[in-house]
Amino acid sequence: MVALASGLRGLVLVLAGQAPPWYQPTVTALGLGGIALGVLALGGHRRPALSWTALGLANLAVAVSAGLTANLP
């Protein structure tokens, strides 16, 4: 829910032209990285330590993205 709310706020800011120029590529990279880590976590069922590490890093990507969005004017 936090990621959806953050993404919606970011989308509104981008469409309104109020987001800084670095915002869209940064959040896109974090989102793609988080998706890749989520896929790795779900696909790494034979290595539980890898799955949990990838899942934790994916959540970190979401937290950083949400933090960046929350700190926009």
pLDDT in tens, 48-58: 999 999 999 99
Q: Which pLDDT score, from 0 to 100, does residue 13 have?
A: 94
How far apart CA 18 and CA 44 sit, in angstroms, is: 40
pLDDT beneath 50, residues of the chain:
none
Q: How far apart are CA 63 and CA 55, in angstroms?
A: 12
**Confidence at residue 73, expressed as pLDDT on a 0 to 100 scale:** 84
pLDDT at residue number 3:
85
Residue 37, exposed/middle/buried by CB under 10 A (0-12, 13-18, 19+)?
Answer: buried
Q: pTM of this prediction?
A: 0.84
Per-residue pLDDT, 37: 96
Cα dihedral: 35, 69, 3, 64 (round 10): 50
Calculate Rg over the CA atoms of the chain: 14
